[in-house]
C-alpha cells in the first residue's frame, strides 16, 4: 500500500518556504522574491515517488502587521494547518527570533500533528547565520530538526524520508504527472507579479494585483498574452508605468523572457496598468 497526505510549510516571510516547495517538486510552482509577503495563496506542490505522494502546501509568511491584507494572509496560512498530516516549520538563521517567530511557535504548540523544524539557508557561511544556535534551541515539540538548504537542495531527501514515515496509507490525491494545483492562468499572473515585486520599491509591490485577460496561441505559433496590473492608487499607477513606459516595459520583458525560457514558445506579452482601489478588500 502506498502512502499519501498533505504537509504544510509554515514560517515567517522570507525564510524560504516557496523556494523549498520548488526544490522539493523540482520545478518552479511558487514565486520567490527577496521581499516579504511574496506568497499570497496556498500553492500546492506535489511530490511522487515509489512510496507514494506528498502534497506540500506553501503558505503566506506570517507577518505581524494589522493591515487587512496581512491579516488575511495570516489567516490563509493558519487555515492550511487544518486537516493535514504534518507541518514543516521553516526558520531562517540569518535573522533574529522576534515576536513573529514567537507568535508562530505559540500556534504550532497547539497543533497535534507532527512538526519538523527545518533550519534553512545552510549554504550560507556560518558568519552569515548568527542565529543558528538560537534556531537549534527552538522547541515546539518537533519530531526532528534538520539543517537544510532549499537553494542547494541540501538534506531535502532526509526531510522527505521523515515525512513519508509520518504519512498514512492512502491513494494519491492528484494524478502522478500533476506537479501543482496552480492553473496556467494563475501561474502566468503570479510570474508577472514576481517580476513586478522585483522591480518595485517600498510599499508599491503590496498594492499590486495581476489579472490575465487573455492567453491565446496563434496559428503561427506565437503565444499572445494580455494581462492587467492593478494598483490601489493613481500615484502608484504612474510609478508602475514609469517614464515613457520604462517600468512596465522592464516588468513585461522580465516576465516574457522567463516564460519563453520555460515554455520554449515565442511570447507576445501585453500589460495594462489600472487603478482598482478595492482589490485588497475583495482578496480572499
Ligand X SMILES: Nc1nc2c(ncn2[C@@H]2O[C@H](COP(=O)(O)OP(=O)(O)OP(=O)(O)O)[C@@H](O)[C@H]2O)c(=O)[nH]1
Strands 209-217 and 223-231: antiparallel
Helix (H, G, I), strand (E, B) or coil at 119: strand
Is 180 one of the binding residues for ligand X (CB under 6 A)? no
- Between 18 and 180, CB nearer to Mg ion: 18
Residues 22-41 that bind ligand X (CB under 6 A): 32-34, 36-39
* Interface ranges with Mg ion (CB under 5 A): 17-18, 38-39
Count other C-beta atoms under 10 Å from residue 95's C-beta.
Answer: 17
- Between 23 and 259, CB nearer to ligand X: 23
Shortest CB 16 distance to Mg ion, Å: 8
- Between 156 and 267, CB nearer to ligand X: 156
**Environment class of residue 144 by beta-carbon count within 10 Å: exposed (0-12), middle (13-18) or buried (19+)?**
middle
Shortest CB 73 distance to ligand X, Å: 8
CA–CA distance, 115 with 132 (Å, rounded to integer):
19
Binds 36: which of Mg ion, ligand X, none (CB < 5-8 Å by kind): ligand X
Assigned C-alpha cell, 110: 497547539
Binds 15: which of Mg ion, ligand X, none (CB < 5-8 Å by kind): ligand X
Stretch of 14-22, 241-249, 250-258, 268-276 contacting ligand X, by CB under 6 A: 14-22
Element (H, E) at 3: strand 3-10
Is 132 one of the binding residues for ligand X (CB under 6 A)? no
- Pick from 4, 8, 10, 18 the residue near ligand X by CB under 6 A: 18
Is 80 one of the binding residues for ligand X (CB under 6 A)? no
Stretch of 116-124, 157-165, 172-180, 192-200 contacting ligand X, by CB under 6 A: 116-124
CA distances from 48 to 10, 31, 151, 159 (A): 21, 21, 20, 14
CA–CA distance, 52 with 167 (Å, rounded to integer):
9
Binds 151: which of ligand X, Mg ion, none (CB < 5-8 Å by kind): ligand X
CA–CA distance, 241 with 83 (Å, rounded to integer):
43
- Between 51 and 131, CB nearer to ligand X: 131
Nearest of 44, 56, 76, 58 to residue 5 by alpha carbon:
56
List 85's β-bridge partners, or say none: none
Chain residues binding ligand X by CB under 6 A are 11, 13-19, 32-34, 36-39, 60-61, 120-121, 123-124, 149-151
Amino acid at each position: 500500500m502506498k502512502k499519501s497526505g498533505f504537509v504544510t510549510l509554515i514560517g515567517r516571510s522570507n525564510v524560504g518556504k516557496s523556494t523549498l516547495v520548488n526544490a522539493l517538486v523540482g520545478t518552479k510552482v511558487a514565486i520567490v522574491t527577496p521581499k516579504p509577503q511574496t506568497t499570497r495563496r496556498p500553492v500546492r506542490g506535489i511530490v511522487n515517488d515509489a512510496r507514494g505522494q506528498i502534497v506540500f502546501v506553501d503558505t503566506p509568511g506570517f507577518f505581524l502587521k494589522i493591515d487587512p491584507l496581512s491579516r488575511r494572509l495570516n489567516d490563509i496560512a493558519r487555515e492550511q494547518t487544518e486537516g493535514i498530516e504534518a507541518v514543516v516549520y521553516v526558520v531562517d538563521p540569518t535573522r533574529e527570533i522576534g515576536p513573529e517567530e514567537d507568535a508562530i511557535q505559540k500556534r504550532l504548540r497547539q497543533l497535534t500533528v507532527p512538526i519538523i523544524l527545518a533550519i534553512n539557508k545552510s549554504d550560507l557561511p556560518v558568519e552569515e547565520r548568527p542565529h543558528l544556535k538560537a534556531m537549534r534551541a527552538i522547541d515546539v515539540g518537533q519530531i526532528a530538526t534538520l539543517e537544510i538548504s532549499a537553494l542547494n537542495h541540501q538534506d531535502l531527501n532526509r526531510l522527505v524520508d521523515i515525512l513519508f514515515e509520518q504519512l498514512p496509507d492512502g491513494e494519491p490525491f492528484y494524478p502522478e504527472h500533476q506537479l501543482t494545483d496552480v492553473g496556467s492562468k494563475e501561474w502566468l499572473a503570479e510570474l508577472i507579479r514576481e517580476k513586478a515585486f522585483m522591480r518595485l520599491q517600498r510599499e508599491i509591490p503590496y498594492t499590486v494585483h495581476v489579472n490575465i485577460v487573455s492567453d491565446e496561441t496563434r496559428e503561427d505559433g506565437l503565444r499572445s498574452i494580455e494581462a492587467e496590473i492593478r494598483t490601489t492608487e493613481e500615484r502608484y499607477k504612474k510609478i508602475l508605468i514609469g517614464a515613457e513606459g520604462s517600468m512596465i516595459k522592464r516588468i513585461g520583458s522580465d516576465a516574457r523572457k522567463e516564460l519563453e525560457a520555460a515554455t520554449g514558445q515565442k511570447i507576445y506579452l501585453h500589460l495594462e496598468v489600472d487603478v482598482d482601489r478595492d482589490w485588497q478588500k475583495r482578496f480572499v
